[in-house]
Structure 1
Amino acid sequence: MYHTWMRYFTPSPAHHRLGLVCLGVGLQHGTLPTVGPRTLDHYVAVVIGAGSGWFRGADGHDVPVTAPALIWLTPGVPHHYGPDPATGWDESFVDFAGPAAATYTELGYIEPDRPVVPLSDTVGARAAVGRIARAARRGNPLLEVETAAAVHELLVALRRARADVAPDGDPVLDALARDAFEPLSVAEHAARHGMTPAELRTAVRRGAGCSPKDYLLGIRLGRAKELLAATELPVAAVARRVGYDDPAYFSRLFTRRVGIAPIRFREQQARTVPGGWSDRIPDPEHPPMIAGPAT
């Protein structure tokens, strides 16, 4: 005995240019029939919230699935799966496609080589699936855009819920972020954390989908933009505060990555207001709060 609810959509070519589109959504539970063997031309995220079962991929080997877990179905890869007939399982699924899927794969959010992913919980994922299900009402004029936005949200929720990522975040990434503004090389960062550069690269690639250098650069440039926009610090002082002793090198790096020079960025984004607080360096951990209207 099982229960199932599903909807399927046909987004237009214009909607595909959003990067991701939702092709379908379903909620099922009970002793569901097995799926496959089959091969799809798009992606499916199958979220198992309760129960257990099995998955068989292209290699023909069965992999046990125990909730909470995620099953990735990727284009062109044969698969076959189902719940334990004695217990069944609770699943939700989202079919999606689009050019952004390749980028999400490159960043490690979609893992074709690891089709069964243990999760710490399914709360965030089920919330995203719920948004898709609510948007699926008949006659919703915003259907394709709402569901596309929720697919992005789902991928982030699934990445955050991976069981190999601590609920408070990745300790290696947290440590790198704390030390990001110190003038250290990648090798020096690795040594500080008792790792080889190769081990650090692997950890950061798995946690953030990029190299340590790019991860640190993103943090440094983000902070530099804040200082350029919200203070009157000279560019050389901004460079030193984000870890660059050579302001000329910082300016070249900023220009290459951002697309405009630091001075030009400041001209576009400056928020200096007489009598305001912009002469102080903003603290990202404690931003100023705007008071609500008096009651």
Structure 2
Amino acid sequence: MPGLIPPFAIRTVGLMDRRPWHSTPGTRVDDWMLTVFLGGRGWYQHHGGTVLVVGGMLGLVPPIQPGILAADPDDPYIHWYCRFNGAHACHLADGILASRGGVRFAQCAQTASIADRLRAVAPIHRTDLPERMGSAEVALAGILVGLSGSEEHRDEGKFFTAESLEDHLRRNLDQPTDLEAIARHFQVSVRTLTRRCSAWTGRSVQRWHEQMKMTWAADLLASTEISVSEVAQRSGYRDPAYFSRVYRRHHGHPPSRRSGGSDP
């Protein structure tokens, strides 16, 4: 459908390399901005406060009150940037930022690996968001999922709510639904996990996660050209035949009947 934004959509990816007088809004339009700093320094000003930005930091700026990022002219920063949108990407970014207590620029152990991923797909400069996911969007999905599961964001497991359970399930769409592992994450028993999920949603954990997986699988099939077997893997199913049966049960047709052609 024309104008439909895929779950992950990149507008720009590029490198800012030691430009002494560089300054820019934290992001633009309705997009989020991800930045990884490899060296040099600068400042981020937001809500009247100023944060020193140095190598090893990661920035994640939402479209609301984006602030201003500026280089130190005596030691200008080097950073990779990625401006993105898409419902699932924004959902993950919002969860990452919330788990950081709203702190937009902070040290991150993954800056080097994220920079490598962005370097591999750069440069990208688009006026409009893409209508289908490509390799760059798949890379962005990996970055955001990795940040969501990093050790910097694990305290959420101490707070067992319907919202935190939903967020955990969405961040693990590529994994089998393991009740014991989920219960360990939230430091509750399997019985408590299943009972509360049923009370909150009227469904079992397995059925709730399965619905999320099938929705995500349909998004991937509609928005990318990757194979059905890879979609199965990215949806947490190691057996493509079983994945196809579950998909047919949910959507009324096999996953091979996709928009734009058959399974490549």
Query: How does the TM-score come out when normalised to structure 1?
Result: 0.50
Structure-2 change in CA distance of 1:29 and 1:160 (3 Å): farther
Q: AA paired with 2:143?
A: L
Q: AA paired with 2:12?
A: G
- Residue 253 (structure 1) aligns with: 204
Equivalent-residue separation in structure 1 for 2:88 and 2:167 (angstroms)? 23
- Residue 92 (structure 1) aligns with: 80
Query: 1:14-62: per-residue Cα shift (whole Å, max 9, x none)?
Result: 4x1x2121101111211342323576221111111112221101x1211
- Residue 114 (structure 1) aligns with: 103
- Residue 164 (structure 2) aligns with: 210
The runs of 5 or more residues in structure 1 that have no matched partner are: 1-11, 137-141, 177-199, 226-241, 261-267, 271-295
Equivalent-residue separation in structure 2 for 1:145 and 1:88 (angstroms)? 32
Equivalent-residue separation in structure 1 for 2:197 and 2:85 (angstroms)? 39
The one of 63, 66, 70 equivalent to 1:82 is 70
CA contact (8 A) 2:97 2:103 kept: no
Counterpart secondary structure, 1:72: strand
Equivalent-residue separation in structure 2 for 1:37 and 1:214 (angstroms)? 31
Query: 1:114-162: per-residue Cα shift (whole Å, max 9, x none)?
Result: 21121124122112202321788xxxxx995122112212223444667
Equivalent-residue separation in structure 2 for 1:70 and 1:43 (angstroms)? 13
Which structure ranks higher in relative contact order (CA pairs < 8 Å, sequence separation ≥ 6)? Answer: 2
The runs of 5 or more residues in structure 2 that have no matched partner are: 126-130, 181-188, 212-240, 244-264
Query: 1:182-205: per-residue Cα shift (whole Å, max 9, x none)?
Result: xxxxxxxxxxxxxxxxxx22xx79
Equivalent-residue separation in structure 1 for 2:133 and 2:208 (angstroms)? 33
Equivalent-residue separation in structure 2 for 1:78 and 1:250 (angstroms)? 36
Larger of the two Rg values belongs to structure: 1
Query: 1:211-258: per-residue Cα shift (whole Å, max 9, x none)?
Result: 59977xx8xx82369xxxxxxxxxxxxxxxx9449x999997357535
Q: Is 1:223 aligned with 2:187?
A: no
Counterpart secondary structure, 1:210: helix
Q: Percent identity?
A: 16
Q: Write out aligned runs for 1:96-245 (5 A).
A: 96-108=84-96, 113-133=102-122, 144-159=133-148, 164=152, 170=154, 200-201=158-159, 210-211=164-165, 222-223=177-178, 243-244=190-191
- Residue 24 (structure 2) aligns with: 36
Equivalent-residue separation in structure 2 for 1:99 and 1:50 (angstroms)? 31
CA contact (8 A) 1:39 1:77 kept: no
Q: Is 1:62 aligned with 2:68?
A: no
CA contact (8 A) 1:21 1:98 kept: yes
Q: How far off its partner does 1:63 sit?
A: 0.9
Q: Is 1:21 aligned with 2:9?
A: yes
The count of aligned residue pairs is 189
- Residue 38 (structure 2) aligns with: 49
Equivalent-residue separation in structure 2 for 1:51 and 1:248 (angstroms)? 52
CA RMSD of aligned residues (A): 4.6
Q: AA paired with 2:103?
A: R
Q: AA paired with 1:117?
A: A
Structure-2 change in CA distance of 1:28 and 1:19 (3 Å): same
